[in-house]
Amino acid sequence: MSLSESFTNASHSEAPAPPHQPATATEAAPAPDGNLLKLRQALDGVMEILGEQREYQQRVGQIYIFRGHLLAPRDTAYATLTERIKPLGYTPMLQRERGEEVVIAIEGDLPQRRFSSPWWLHLGLLLVTIASTTVMGASIVGWPPSYFMDLIDKGDMRALWDYLQKGLPFSLTLLGILGTHEMGHYVAGRLHGVKVTLPFFIPLPVPNTLGTLGAVIFIKSPLLNRRALFDVGIAGPLAGLVVALPLYAIGVTQPQAVGLPTSWMSANITRVANPPLLDGIARLVAPEIGNLDRFVLQGHPMALAAWFGVLLTALNLLPLGQFDGGHVSYALFGRRAWTLAMVTFTVLIMLGFVGGVFMWLIWAFMGLLTGLRHPPPHDDVQPLGLPRTIIGLATIIIFFLILIPVPFYSPT
């Protein structure tokens, strides 16, 4: 559970503190809390305080929680709170619960991920992933991984170059989509002043796979408001699609170069399902293709790699936890996204067990690992704004246009 989520839970776990009772003759009045008085003063003109409480959380420190109604505009309230509360040694959070605004003042600065990685690690992982995906790409067109090792042992550079030419179209297409996706997150994060790492590419040198588990960046500092949450979350999928869709269009116009991989035949897979958006693109640029679902699997490696890139984009847009879709859905719907995440998780479990598509169980488990409830940003009150709302709703439509409930199949 993230710090921001646990603070939010603390804000409504107990009833507001009872009104102060006058001290009796035999009971000494408690000493006033100087920090509480200062924080009340900092809220003057920003929030009408209806209730307050004080808590202590181990490894975090003192927490003051104020409930009431905002007096300042929602666009600027958090900035005003930060300007006033930070000098007092506290970090503010601004939430909305049960029709009231909640200001949470947390002692000190919230911890950030303190790790750094040298540039050569990112480059090394990228090169290894290029190699593993190239080998897998060559195996798709009929050159098994064992042949690659034989060429290395023999030192046959000419044959090795021919081998790379067979595998690189698949490799560079797939990694181009994945890399653009992660750089979309990176650029959006930097524009919002969020500390992010460079992409970590994850090689998977295992036969009958894509040769990679994808790529990931780590966010080291908080996403302060819904606008930052939305921009960082949505930038990756949209950037990846901008690359994937043209490459798919180019791939389906190329002559067949694959043939059915033996490993796919052993799994009784002879076709891949094309989502409505890819089906429409193929019908537009290559209307002569008869069996598109068979052609993509057995056609050109670029088309197949782009198909996988679009599939991975759809999976990332699932409205779960810390997935890209989880970021976007929380930015759009707030805490109602928690219900949406639970519904999505239930549907994935049903598709996995009832529909027999094991892939959905894996993604349901990954969503469970990240936490189905997306933690709120520090400023959960600032409105998202009309332009972002329109883009978000359009992305939901795109999600359903690229979603494939059963990606692989073999018709009887």
Please tell me the predicted confidence (pLDDT) of residue 14.
39
Please tell me the predicted confidence (pLDDT) of residue 22.
47
Confidence of residue 410 (pLDDT cuts 50, 70, 90): low
Please tell me the predicted confidence (pLDDT) of residue 137.
87
Residue 128 contacts residue 203 (beta carbons within 8 Å): yes
Bridge partners, 104 (sequence order): 65, 93
Structure tokens at 158: 């000419």
- Listing from the earlier edge strand, what are the strands of the sheet with 90-97? 47-57, 61-70, 100-107, 90-97
Q: What is the mean pLDDT of the chain?
A: 85
Residue with tokens 């059963």: 406
- In DSSP notation, 295-322 reads HHHHS-HHHHHHHHHHHHHHHHTS--TT
Bridge partners, 64 (sequence order): 54, 105
Residues whose CB falls within 8 Å of the CB of residue 226, separated by 6 or more in sequence, listed in order = 330, 331, 334, 377, 379, 380, 382, 383, 384
Please tell me the predicted confidence (pLDDT) of residue 250.
95
Q: Which amino acid is at 252?
A: V
Cα 304 from Cα 293, distance rounded (Å)? 10
Residue 368 contacts residue 345 (beta carbons within 8 Å): yes
Q: Would you give the DSSP letter of residue 108?
A: S
Confidence of residue 262 (pLDDT cuts 50, 70, 90): low
- In DSSP notation, 280-292 reads HHHHHH-TT-S-H
Bridge partners, 203 (sequence order): 212
Residue 106 contacts residue 95 (beta carbons within 8 Å): no
- Which domains, and CATH codes, for the chain? 3-107 (3.30.70), 119-409 (no CATH)
Residue 63 contacts residue 106 (beta carbons within 8 Å): yes
Q: Which amino acid is at 375?
A: P
Integer CA distances (angstroms), 26 to 20, 31, 33, 407, in order = 17, 16, 21, 76
Average pLDDT over residues 150-166: 76
Which tens digit of pLDDT belongs to each residue from 215-257? Answer: 999 988 888 999 999 999 999 999 999 999 999 999 999 887 6
Give SS3 for 338: helix
Confidence of residue 32 (pLDDT cuts 50, 70, 90): low
Residue 60 contacts residue 105 (beta carbons within 8 Å): no
Please tell me the predicted confidence (pLDDT) of residue 399.
96
Q: Would you give the DSSP letter of residue 86?
A: G
Please tell me the predicted confidence (pLDDT) of residue 6.
36
Structure tokens at 320: 């779960």
Q: Which amino acid is at 164?
A: L
Residue 60 contacts residue 35 (beta carbons within 8 Å): no
Average pLDDT over residues 305-315: 95
Cα 347 from Cα 403, distance rounded (Å)? 14
Which tens digit of pLDDT belongs to each residue from 65-108? Answer: 999 999 999 999 999 999 999 999 999 999 998 889 999 999 88
Please tell me the predicted confidence (pLDDT) of residue 33.
79
- pLDDT at 173 > cutoff 90: yes
Backbone angles phi, psi at 55, to 5 degrees: -135, 170
Confidence of residue 264 (pLDDT cuts 50, 70, 90): low
- pLDDT at 157 > cutoff 80: no
- pLDDT at 20 > cutoff 50: no
Cα 349 from Cα 355, distance rounded (Å)? 9
Structure tokens at 223: 């996403």
Please tell me the predicted confidence (pLDDT) of residue 25.
46
Residue 5 contacts residue 373 (beta carbons within 8 Å): yes
Give SS3 for 244: helix
Contacts 24+ apart (CB under 8 A), 216-219: 216/182, 217/182, 217/185, 217/186, 217/189, 218/113, 218/115, 219/113, 219/189, 219/194, 219/195
Degrees, nearest 5: CA angle 352-362-167: 110
